[in-house]
Amino acid sequence: MRYTTLGNSDLKVSKVCLGCMGFGDSKGNMHSWTLDEESTRPIIKQALELGINFFDTALAYANGTSEQYVGRALRDFAKREDVIVATKFLPMTDADREKGMSVRDYINNCLEQSLKNLGMDYIDLYIYHCYDEKMPIEEVMETLNHAVEDGKVRYIGISNCFAWQLAKANFIAEKYGWAKFVTVQNHYNLLFREEEREMVDYCKDANIAMTPYSALAAGRLSKDRKQTSERLEKDAYAKGKYDATAEVDNIIIDRVGEMAEKYGVSRTQIALSWLMHKVAAPVCGATKLSHLDGMVAATELDLATEDMHYLEETYVPHALVGMMKKD
């Protein structure tokens, strides 16, 4: 396993982060394919044994049960100081605002709930799940800074934002001497590379670590186009992100297959190796023990420059999708 330091922090993490969105009680959850706790535990245990020390979850995942499963497993299988745990809080809802709740109270409530769910005294990386213009960024950054000063959070990050929003937030934090975002978790993989317009170069210049989600495009980059899975068939959210561009994306998926044959490795290793050369540590989910093998093996695979270019050259611009889509 290879390790890296996340941007302007002292967090030393494995080059792949285990994404835990696939863990949690599926009842009342937007994802019907999530694993129950009994199925989750061996995956987390095996991940630790393979050298993965970086785990990403969120308060919103499976109504908090993802955090609960992850927290209990890590307490049983690892020492707290040996793992890096990231979790997230969503923006306020209109209902929260109608109740007269302040930004500070809202974030603090989310933080306390996540700490309770995880069964931990602090969170290594606390992530603002999605930049929201309705939440004044000065109040968000000030509240997060207090959480760092109180020792409940070590570092802060952001997800689902534009480069200018990240720059604005960190400018405000620097102005007041507050903690700044050290990571950004956006949508980035071989099939969706819009982050290369501005975010990639900005993060390199500011030494902000990129930990993108959907590293395998919800499984599309890990298998032949003729193969399927429960998630490919049932994940309506992922379908909304990828089905409209399937024709042009399939060319890239086929090239991933060609490279897998050339190197004698899995498609997962090819797709993740490409991404690991671009970012600090991609977030990659696993719902089977076998998924972990490809993730870990990818950290040791180095693709030739010409093969990196071959995988990239047929990409065409994509419209923004998912949480970044503008109506």
**Cβ of 4: how many Cβ atoms within 10 Å?**
17
Domain 3-220+272-302 = CATH 3.30.110.60: no
Return the pLDDT at 323: 74
The C-alpha angle 213, 218, 220, rounded to 5 degrees, equals 125
Q: What's the confidence (pLDDT) of residue 245?
A: 87
| Positions marked active-site | 61
Average pLDDT over residues 262-283: 97
pTM of the model: 0.94
pLDDT surpassing 80 at residue 229:
no
pLDDT score of 234 more than 70: no
Task: Indicate whether 238 pLDDT > 80.
Answer: no
Given a cut of 80, is residue 66 above it in pLDDT?
A: yes
pLDDT in tens, 7-62: 999 999 999 999 999 999 988 666 777 899 999 999 999 999 999 999 999 999 99
In this predicted structure, what is the pLDDT of residue 235?
A: 64
Residues 314-322, mean pLDDT to the nearest whole number: 89
pLDDT digits over 128-177, tens only? Answer: 999 999 999 999 999 999 999 999 999 999 999 999 999 999 999 999 99
Question: Mean pLDDT of all residues in the chain?
Answer: 94
Buried b (16+ CB within 10 A) or exposed e, 271-301: bbbbbbebbbbbbbbbbeeebbbbbbbbbeb
Domain ranges within the chain, ordered by starting residue: 3-220+272-302
